Amino acid sequence: MSEQRTIAVTVNGKAYAKTVPVRLTLADFLRHTLRLTGTHLGCEHGVCGACTVLFDGHSARSCLMLAVQADGHDIVTVEGLSPDGGKTLHVLQQAFHDHHGLQCGFCTPGILTTLIELLRDNPDPTEEDIRVGISGNLCRCTGYHNIVVAALEAAKRMLDHRRQRTDDR
């Protein structure tokens, strides 16, 4: 029997306490233990980027972490991006929808979580910034073009929204 540990983690704002095998990856913990299957697993060795989540606000490949390492930490998955628990899309998700930024959707969760961090660190990115930013995420459908268009549009909408809020004050 594999060694086990009890961990306490916050995922998408919700606190969980679970007993897990110590060798369980964070990705499998999210998908199998918590049944949050929005996080996808492609290569499982840190190349494809599909399993990217936000770990204490920073993008990380969840296939390259153990669930026990998340003990006491805060995780956001693609399920946690919606501002109202899934009723409406995040601005970034809406931009992907509007600009056909996905086809099969397998890589999308990892690209969205990666871009959330990028747009937070750099609210007014260039096309080059976006392309470098998602260079660790493989997409076999889109050729990346519409992903970049959607990301730039999301950045613009978020900036406009912020400006509007400032003007309203």
Partner 1 sequence: MKPPAFSYHDPRSTGEVLNLLTSLDNAKLLAGGQSLMPMLNMRFVLPDHVIDLNRVAELSYIREAAGALESGAIEIGAMTRQRDIEFSDLIRSRCPLMHEAIRQVGHRQTRNRGTLGGSLCHLDPAAELVAVAATLDASITVAGRNGSRTIGFADFPVAYMTPALGPDELLVGARFPCWRDPHGYAFVEFSRRHGDFAIVAAAALIEEDGAGKVTRAALTLGGMGPAPIRAREVEQALIGEIIGEQRLRELCEPLREVEAMDDIHAPASYRRQLATVLSRRALNKAHERIAARAAS
The correct pick among 7, 39, 49, 146 for binding partner 1 (CB under 8 A) is 49
Give, as ranges, the residues between 132 and 151 that touch partner 1 (CB under 8 A): 132-133, 135-136
State whether residue 140 is helix, strand or coil. coil
Tokens of 112: 């969205």
> Binding to partner 1 by residue 52, rule CB under 8 A?
yes
Angle between helices 145-168 and 108-121 (to 10 degrees): 40
The yes or no reply on residue 48 touching partner 1 (CB under 8 A) is no
* 157 near partner 1 (CB under 8 A): no
Number of continuous H segments (helices) and E segments (strands) in the chain: 5, 5
- Give the nearer residue to partner 1 in terms of CB position, either 23 or 100: 23
User: Which of 39, 77, 93, 114: binder of partner 1 (CB under 8 A)?
Assistant: 114
Tokens representing 123 are 């609210």
Give the three-state DSSP class for 70.
Answer: helix
**Among 32, 26, 48, 57, residue whose Cα is nearest residue 119:** 57
Under the binding rule (CB under 8 A), the answer on residue 6 touching partner 1 is no
Cα 154 → chain centroid: 15
Q: Does 11 bind partner 1 (CB under 8 A)?
A: no
d(CA 103, CA 66): 30
| Residue 87 beta carbon to partner 1: minimum distance, rounded to whole angstroms | 29
Does 117 contact partner 1 by CB under 8 A? Answer: yes
- Comparison of 68 and 158: residue with beta carbon closer to partner 1: 68
Rounded to the nearest whole angstrom, what is the least distance from the CB of residue 68 to partner 1 in the complex?
Answer: 6
Residue 46 near residue 64, CB atoms below 8 Å: yes
Site residues for partner 1 per CB under 8 A:
2-3, 5, 21-25, 28, 44-46, 49, 52, 55, 58-61, 63-66, 68-69, 114, 117-118, 132-133, 135-136
